[in-house]
Amino acid sequence: MPEIKVTPLGAGQDVGRSCILVSIAGKNVMLDCGMHMGYNDDRRFPDFSYITQNGRLTDFLDCVIISHFHLDHCGALPYFSEMVGYDGPIYMTHPTKAICPILLEDYRKITVDKKGETNFFTSQMIKDCMKKVVAVHLHQTVQVDEELEIKAYYAGHVLGAAMFQIKVGCESVVYTGDYNMTPDRHLGAAWIDKCRPDLLISESTYATTIRDSKRCRERDFLKKVHETVERGGKVLIPVFALGRAQELCILLETFWERMNLKAPIYFSTGLTEKANHYYKLFITWTNQKIRKTFVQRNMFEFKHIKAFDRAFADNPGPMVVFATPGMLHAGQSLQIFRKWAGNEKNMVIMPGYCVQGTVGHKILSGQRKLEMEGRQILEVKMQVEYMSFSAHADAKGIMQLIRQAEPRNVLLVHGEAKKMEFLKQKIEQEFHVNCYMPANGETTTILTNPSIPVDISLGLLKREAAIGPVPDAKKPKLMHGTLLMKDNSFRLVSPEQALKELGLAEHQLRFTCRVHIQDPRKEHETVLRVYNHLKGVLKDYSVQHLPDGSITVESILIQATAHSEDQGTKVLLVSWTYQDEELGSYLTALLKKGLPQSTA
Amino acid sequence: MAAHLKKRVYEEFTKVVQQQHEDLSTKKLRLTKPSKSAALHVDLCKATSPADALQYLLQFARKPVEVESVEGVVRILLEHYYKENDASVRLKIASLLGLLSKTAGFSPDCIMDDAINTLQNEKSHQVLAQLLDTLLVIGTKLPENPSVRMRLVEVACKHLTDSSHGVRNKCLQLIGCLGPVEKGVAKEAESQAAKDVQKIIGDHFNDQDPRVRTAAIKAMLQLHERGLKLQQAIYSQACKLLADDYEQVRSAAVQLIWVLSQLYPESIVPIPSSNEEIRLVDDAFGKICHMVSDGSWVVRVQAAKLLGSMQQVSSHFLEQTLDKKLMSDLRRKRTAHERAKELYSSGEFSSGRKWGDDAPKEEIDTGAVNLIESGACGAFVHGLEDEMYEVRIAAVEALCMLAQSSPSFAEKCLDFLVDMFNDEIEEVRLQSIHTMRKISHNITLREDQLDTVLAVLEDSSRDIREALHELLCCTNVSTKEGIHLALVELLKNLTKYPTDRESIWKCLKFLGSRHPTLVLPLVPELLSTHPFFDTPEPDMDDPAYIAVLVLIFNAAKSCPTMPALFSDHTFRHYAYLRDSLSHLVPALRLPGRKLVSSPVSPSITPHEDPSQQFLHQSLERVYNLQHLDPQGIQELLEFTIRDLQRLGELQSELAGMADFTATYLQCQLLLIKALQEKLWNVAAPLYLKQNALASAAAKQILEETYKMEFMYSGVESRQVVIIHHMRLQAKALQLIVTARTTRGAEPLFGMCEKFLQEVDSFQRCFISELPHMQGSFVDKLLDLMPRLVTSKPSEVVKILQTTLRQSTFLHLPLPEQLHRATANIIEPTGESDNPLRFTSGLVVALDVDATLEHVQDPQGTVKVQVLYPDGQAQLIHPKPADFRNPGPGRHRLITQVYLSHTAWTEPCQIEVRLLLAYNSNRSKASSRIPKSTWSESLEALPPSENGIEGTIPFSKPVKVYIMPKPARR
């Protein structure tokens, strides 16, 4: 039985370090190659030695696929390709290929320059790694080799995020990466056709959450900002440079446009500017509104949002500032926060999750007095708001995707074990498909039942279709032919051709069967009774009574003789060739049941 | 070598073509009356290759064929059809047959047998499909012939087993269009096949080809449209098709399910995998709701649209569509809507949210959570959040329709509609505002909802703001805080967008009159009165203060206790506003004061309205004076005109009427004045100055009559006669003046001729009205007509002069409704001191935004005129798409005008105004002449005959400061 094997090296019952190995029909594919935010030791990268102890990775992997540019999906890529050594193809979408190196470079800078780590990948390695990347378009079928093909589907989440279908022959796997089933201000919703894969590997970050409508959150957010700005207060929005930041920018930009507001909006510069450039370029990857209006004006050409300068923070009057990083643990956002925290007119809006220990987490949990470095006490008088803008599918979204794709098996990754358990149970209950949730390093084997294509010659098909009743879509049809397995291909040919090809002589094969019937009458009378009976039953076939006392049904011969010992028993000899096996066996079964009593 | 060969091939090819052309032309020359069929026959016989034949056929298809020769042509074509071996030619012939049978006036039953015969031996699937298409055309041409249709359906049934999807498609289409609809008609004699078309079509719901499946469903829908009652048994089949792999099948299946749900709403269907049963319409509703989250947006739009029209669905199911249980980490969470509601009911005004305010509370039982909604659950929640705005709009429309029929649902969907006010696409926002207005009689806005609604008032789009004002006009607000909030936001809106003034006042008028009891407690605060101290008197010209007063006065109308709270200056302001903004301020019964105007009780019909009475009285007065001395007449007319103009300013609903009559009287006055000039008594050339006055009067009268005819909507033919009559008089005056001033009879001769022609055409056009015009100018003129025709010009002039003097003043009957077309340019405002700078020779776009009222067919008549300081005038025709129609009788023009000029040294002002173009040919008088198309009318009508085109300026000109700079080299 053919099987698909899946082993998560990361993201198995866990969030972060996504890396999943898939073996399908003899092909090995690695899905994502991410790092873990929570660790600073060896655990931050997947354990590639699992794939091979000695020997090159290239020999063991047919390709690597990166779903999107978040570091927990691509952070380990330079390490994997340059330091461990992999020379095979790496597939990602065009926006991912464009933005991913910026983030990798940023990550490298923080790790090496700030934290002073050695033995880390270099800028050159990032460049070399990117040279191995093959960019793909949405819905483009890429032939990795003769059998393996991959295809990208739109996934929402961030710019360029994609779901990938990996297909070998009739077996296929869909890997979702991170996806979002509800559209937002800059991206559309994930979409997949009814591709009916053998296995769907889905993320499950929000396995136990059903979210409220996006509109309420947006409205709340805008109202908060608007009110504060009208009061003359300043709004600080700490963000991470890519992803949500752009969504919020669009949101505020359009709101400013709509409401004719004049207060300035600033965005702290840095890698954002570069990334924004790509957002402008990859218009086709954004949502309907941006795609439709970009001819008049590209929505990412912000009119109201300007670059931030350190000195602006002290300017009087209202303003809105987007600053990095998103958890207020360091950098510009923290500096601005310290300046503005004392005024109750101001407001800080945290648009995402904050890790424990960061200033962001403290103020969100209601702390009003913060101890800063140097024993300073900072009193927080400004308003603190929390708005969740997350771009993962919630439980309903995941179910919706499963419904769209109609997979035969589901495997959950990228989520917490406890939450997965709930979703797994739901999936099995609602869709009646198997659902798996392997831990890291645990291999799941899925048996598949692939259909095997067989070539049939047109002549044979037409000939066989012509026999018997008119073809009906609802009923299966029996066909006769010879299956030839030759040179790794299957062909269905007519027996004559098979014989010819194989150089064999034809042998006739006849089955003969004796049926005993209790009938005291004369032989020819019995024959007549049998004849009448058959004629009555087999209306569609030609039943003939031959002058020599035998009956033919199509090519089947029936002869009756009296039993040598018992004259009351007649022996019916039924003889048929193997081609008529079906009819022949039916006939014998019929005759064995005996003749009907009344022969009138 | 290859190139050479190619060249040769081309050479040969071109040669062949040329020959054909020659042949063709000679052929045509030789035939005296070229018979279509014969020519075609010759051509086709000559064709050596299929490609040639195809060419001939293509050429043939371009020319129309007369009805008489259709049959002959068809015979020829059929003959060639049987001979032809090439499938493509046969295909073309088949399609030509279809085309020919469509010829108007041709009855195709004579060729039907032949057409059916051709099907017999045809092998090519494409040709077969085309032939079936032809049969379909033939069948549809013969609607009253059931036996023919029966035969065709039989033929189609025979070909349903064809292996090509195209053929099966066409067969199904044919059955759908021609299949018997009435039950009884299918006689026993008819074949088995034609009997139950529904079953035949239903069998193809499971066809292997999605296109055929779609065609089958479409055929079924076609049958339904033609009036056949579909069987309920199809329902289960159609439900299965909802899970089809192909979107067009699903889309059609959704329609079919909808149709069935409308046919059998009350039947009971079982729920699979349980013993329960539900109504079919509920089941179908659930299924269609499910399709709102389909993978294809086409299907989603389709499903969302159809949901709106399923009004029989039970409320339980309906309310589920808005249901969405939230959870977070397996704990139940309240939606923002629920939280907002709770906040409201707990009496606390929206507070700043704390971290964890939305923290999930109760644990949920994992077994009870249903992640895949069965049926209707949350369909609209999904639809409204959809990625494609088409789906969102469809969902909003459906919400609107359902809410209109179910008040409880309206109440529930409010939160969602309010949310849609923040959609990113303006169309969706606008649509949801309109929807809200439509269901406003069913709902009362909560404060938090009102808050969200009002936030949109700051939107920069005027459409949105105006739609919102309309919405506020008819919303119910529950609390006095709500009213206060609305007022505050509207005033904010007013300061931000001063151009919205009128719309905001109107909005407050309705808000006040709908909620008198809620306004009452707010009055002291709004008027900032104090129990002990006198407060300063507010500025009367402040639009915001007027807005507040409009609200209060309208509330006071049905709340008699309110005036007691007014301070002295309020009463004064009331009097002023009642006078100046009478359409916004109602009449109030004020204690201790004499009524400013008599109370208007609702039972009084408009005819008894005092202002209307006044209008009629003053007109009576004017018409009755016939024999006053000229001086007296003039004075009376002048006074009446003044009165009428004032009345028009005060009473907006009578403005049209008053202006119209005032204009008429003005014309009369001018005429009288002109006739009393002394010049008539003296030798003409001596009084050139006076003479200028008279001719100017004639000119002005002409202009005014055009205005009267074309600027007012609601003018009936009775008025048109009077207007034309007045114009005729003006023309007579003109003629007399010219006769007096010019020497020589030559030019006069022509003018007289023309005038008499005009009198004649007047008579022709208004023959039915003539009896009403006794004693009038034209009446007398017509009596003298025989004399006029024969006499000399000088005679004619003399006669005219006397008749003009003796003729009586015609009574102008007033129509029921009369409105003057007005235009108001909102943008540009004309207040800017910054010149619009642009490089000379290039163009600059000037945004023009104007409101038009009571303009009929603005697309055809409204023009923008730009006047440059050098006297150059430019006329711009706005695109039809630039006009919007926000309400009956109202239009809005938003367009761009392109300006360009050579370089100036200083910035200077140009004038922009709107013109109403008219064409006297299109007037109501000649409306009896059948309308011809634009180009034809230009050619057909001689330019002299009444074909006067002109324009009437009907808006105040707006000055725009511009500065074309010289181009830099």
Is the Cβ–Cβ distance between B186 and B180 less than 8 Å?
yes
Q: Do you find a cis peptide bond into B828, omega within 30 degrees of 0?
A: yes
Q: For residues A398 and A329, state if they share a domain.
A: no
Q: How far is A207 from chain B (nearest CA, A)?
A: 8
Using the beta-carbon criterion (under 8 Å), do A210 and B424 form an inter-chain contact?
no
Question: Could you give the CA distance from residue A12 to residue A18 in angstroms, rounded to a whole number?
Answer: 8
Q: For residues A67 and A161, state if they share a domain.
A: yes
Quote the pLDDT of residue B682: 56
Tell which of B353, B371, B460, B461 to mutate to test the A interface (max A CBs under 10 Å): B371
Q: Which residue has the tokens 């050695």?
A: A118
Please give the residue range of the domain that contains residue B555.
Answer: 445-590
What pLDDT, in 10s, does the model give residues A133-149?
Answer: 999 999 999 999 998 99
Spell out the residues 6+ positions from residue B96 whose beta carbon is closer than 8 angstroms to its own: B57, B60, B61, B77
Q: A196: nearest CA in chain B?
A: B245
Please give the residue range of the domain that contains residue A349.
Answer: 214-386
For the record, the structure tokens of B55 come out as 């060419």
For A230, A254, B487, B547, B917, the CA distances from B492, given in Å and listed in that order, are 12, 20, 9, 11, 39
Question: Could you give the CA distance from residue A247 to residue A186 in angstroms, rounded to a whole number?
Answer: 6
The residue from B406, B427, B442 where one domain ends is: B442
Q: A251: nearest CA in chain B?
A: B424
Q: For residues A224 and A316, state if they share a domain.
A: yes
Is the Cβ–Cβ distance between B900 and B841 less than 8 Å?
yes
CA-CA-CA-CA dihedral for B928, B931, B932, B935, to nearest 10: 110
Quote the pLDDT of residue B325: 67
Is the Cβ–Cβ distance between B524 and B548 less than 8 Å?
no
Quote the pLDDT of residue A148: 93
What pLDDT, in 10s, does the model give residues A373-390?
Answer: 777 888 889 888 887 777
Q: From the first residue on, what is the mean pLDDT of each consecutive set of 10 residues in chain B (969 residues)?
A: 51 42 40 56 75 84 78 82 84 86 78 81 86 87 80 85 87 87 51 65 86 92 88 88 91 93 88 79 88 89 91 83 69 66 50 46 58 65 88 92 87 85 86 87 81 84 85 86 90 86 88 88 83 78 89 88 84 86 80 49 50 77 68 81 82 79 85 72 54 78 84 80 84 80 71 82 78 76 79 78 76 78 81 82 85 82 88 86 76 85 86 84 43 36 48 84 83
Q: For residues A236 and A313, state if they share a domain.
A: yes
> How many domains would you assign to chain A?
4
Quote the pLDDT of residue B657: 82
Q: Is A451 an 8 Å CB contact of chain B?
A: no
Q: What is the CATH number of the domain that holds B431?
A: 1.25.10.10
Q: For residues B584 and B629, state if they share a domain.
A: no
Is B883 inside any structural domain? yes
CB < 8 Å to B328, chain A: 208-210
Question: Could you give the CA distance from residue B264 to residue B58 in angstroms, rounded to a whole number?
Answer: 50
CB < 8 Å to B336, chain A: 212-213, 216-217, 220
Centroid of chain to Cα B449: 32
For the record, the structure tokens of B489 come out as 């936001």
CB < 8 Å to B459, chain A: 258-259
Is B889 inside any structural domain? yes
Q: What is the mean pLDDT of residues A6-12?
A: 90
Is A600 inside any structural domain? no
Q: For residues B567 and B706, state if they share a domain.
A: no
Q: How far is A223 from chain B (nearest CA, A)?
A: 8
What pLDDT, in 10s, does the model give residues A82-125?
Answer: 998 899 999 999 999 999 998 898 888 888 887 788 888 999 99
Is A420 inside any structural domain? yes
Q: How far does chain A reach from its first CA to its final CA, in angstroms?
A: 57
Q: For residues B576 and B615, state if they share a domain.
A: no
Q: What is the CATH number of the domain that holds A527?
A: 3.30.310
Quote the pLDDT of residue A31: 94
Using the beta-carbon criterion (under 8 Å), do B355 and A364 form an inter-chain contact?
yes
Using the beta-carbon criterion (under 8 Å), do B336 and A217 form an inter-chain contact?
yes
Q: For residues A358 and A398, state if they share a domain.
A: no
Instruction: Write out the E strands in A195-338.
Output: 199-203, 234-238, 265-267, 305-307, 319-323
Q: For residues A107 and A232, state if they share a domain.
A: no
DSSP string, B518-570: HHGGGHHHHHT--SSSPPPPPPTT-HHHHHHHHHHHHHHHT-TTGGGG--HHH
Using the beta-carbon criterion (under 8 Å), do B460 and A419 form an inter-chain contact?
no
For the record, the structure tokens of B811 come out as 């009574």
Q: For residues A426 and A322, state if they share a domain.
A: no
State how beta strands A148-154 and A141-143 pair.
Answer: antiparallel
Quote the pLDDT of residue A583: 83
Question: Could you give the CA distance from residue B261 to residue B523 in angstroms, rounded to a whole number?
Answer: 54
What pLDDT, in 10s, does the model give residues A261-309?
Answer: 889 999 876 666 777 888 888 988 988 888 888 888 888 888 888 888 8
Is B2 inside any structural domain? no
Question: Could you give the CA distance from residue A350 to residue A413 in angstroms, rounded to a whole number?
Answer: 27
Q: For residues A220 and A357, state if they share a domain.
A: yes
Q: For residues A275 and A311, state if they share a domain.
A: yes
Q: Which helix (H) or strand (E) holds B887?
A: strand B883-887
β partners of residue A30:
A21, A64
DSSP string, A339-404: HHTT-TT-EEEE-S---TTSHHHHHHTT--EEE-TTS-EEE--SEEEE-----S-BHHHHHHHHHH
Using the beta-carbon criterion (under 8 Å), do A259 and B458 form an inter-chain contact?
yes
CB < 8 Å to B420, chain A: 215
Is the Cβ–Cβ distance between B394 and B358 less than 8 Å?
no
Q: For residues B500 and B380, state if they share a domain.
A: no
Q: What is the DSSP letter of B188?
A: T
β partners of residue B959:
B911
Q: How far does chain B reach from its first CA to its final CA, in angstroms?
A: 56
Quote the pLDDT of residue A413: 92
For B729, B734, B810, B964, the CA distances from B755, given in Å and listed in that order, are 10, 10, 21, 48
Spell out the residues 6+ positions from residue A391 whose beta carbon is closer than 8 angstroms to its own: A156, A157, A158, A178, A180, A184, A187, A243, A244, A247
Q: Which of A183, A219, A386 has the CB atom closest to B419's CB atom?
A: A219
Q: For residues B864 and B960, state if they share a domain.
A: yes
Q: For residues B883 and B801, state if they share a domain.
A: no
Is A599 inside any structural domain? no
Centroid of chain to Cα A96: 18
Q: Which helix (H) or strand (E) holds B502?
A: helix B501-514
Q: For residues B902 and B826, state if they share a domain.
A: yes
- Surface of A (274-333) touching B: CB under 8 A: 287-289
- Helix B87-101 vs helix B50-62: crossing angle, to nearest 10: 20
Q: Does the CA dihedral B383-B384-B390-B393 come out positive or negative?
A: positive
Using the beta-carbon criterion (under 8 Å), do B295 and A364 form an inter-chain contact?
no
β partners of residue A386:
A350
pTM of the model: 0.73
Look up residue A30 and give its amino acid.
M
Phi, psi of A83 (to 5 degrees): -90, -45
Is the Cβ–Cβ distance between B325 and B300 less than 8 Å?
no
Alpha helices in A432-546 (DSSP H): 458-466, 495-502, 523-537
This complex has an ipTM of 0.80
Using the beta-carbon criterion (under 8 Å), do A366 and B369 form an inter-chain contact?
no
Q: What is the DSSP letter of A114?
A: I
Centroid of chain to Cα B507: 24
Lowest average pLDDT, out of A426-430, A564-568, B451-455, goes to A564-568
Order of strands, sheet of A234-238, starting from the edge strand that comes earlier in the sequence: A305-307, A265-267, A319-323, A234-238, A347-350, A383-386
Quote the pLDDT of residue B598: 43
The residue from B774, B806, B838 where one domain ends is: B806
Q: What is the CATH number of the domain that holds A421?
A: 3.60.15.10
Q: What count of other Cβ atoms lies within 10 Å of the Cβ of residue A40?
A: 11
CB-facing half-sphere around the CA of B644: CA atoms within 13 A? 25
Quote the pLDDT of residue B24: 41
Question: Could you give the CA distance from residue B390 to residue B386 in angstroms, rounded to a whole number?
Answer: 9
Q: Which residue has the tokens 């049904």?
A: A553
Closest CA to B826 of B851, B852, B855: B851
Q: What is the CATH number of the domain that holds A331?
A: 3.40.50.10890
Is A490 inside any structural domain? yes
Q: What is the largest CA-CA distance in chain B?
A: 114
CB < 8 Å to A185, chain B: 424
Q: What count of other Cβ atoms lies within 10 Å of the Cβ of residue A65?
A: 25
Centroid of chain to Cα B416: 29
For the record, the structure tokens of B240 come out as 């299965």
Spell out the residues 6+ positions from residue B782 whose beta carbon is closer than 8 angstroms to its own: B759, B763, B770
Is the Cβ–Cβ distance between B107 and B141 less than 8 Å?
yes
Look over chain A and give the mean of its residue pLDDT values, rounded to a whole number. Answer: 86
Q: For residues B528 and B413, state if they share a domain.
A: no
CB-facing half-sphere around the CA of B586: CA atoms within 13 A? 21
**Which are the catalytic amino acids of A?**
203
Coil, strand or helix at B807? coil
CB < 8 Å to A233, chain B: none
Q: For residues B841 and B706, state if they share a domain.
A: no
Is B76 inside any structural domain? no
Is B22 inside any structural domain? no
Q: Is A572 an 8 Å CB contact of chain B?
A: no
Q: Which helix (H) or strand (E) holds A24?
A: strand A19-24
Q: For residues B793 and B646, state if they share a domain.
A: yes
> How many domains would you assign to chain B?
4
Q: Do you find a cis peptide bond into A325, omega within 30 degrees of 0?
A: yes
For the record, the structure tokens of B648 come out as 């028009």
CB < 8 Å to A421, chain B: none
Using the beta-carbon criterion (under 8 Å), do B206 and A474 form an inter-chain contact?
yes
Is the Cβ–Cβ distance between A286 and A159 less than 8 Å?
yes
Question: Could you give the CA distance from residue B368 to residue B385 in angstroms, rounded to a whole number?
Answer: 25
Quote the pLDDT of residue A141: 94
Using the beta-carbon criterion (under 8 Å), do A208 and B245 form an inter-chain contact?
no
Question: Could you give the CA distance from residue A381 to residue A368 in angstroms, rounded to a whole number?
Answer: 7
Q: For residues B841 and B799, state if they share a domain.
A: no
What pLDDT, in 10s, does the model give residues B272-306?
Answer: 767 778 888 888 888 898 888 888 999 999 999 99
Q: For residues B614 and B563, state if they share a domain.
A: no
Q: How far is A11 from chain B (nearest CA, A)?
A: 19
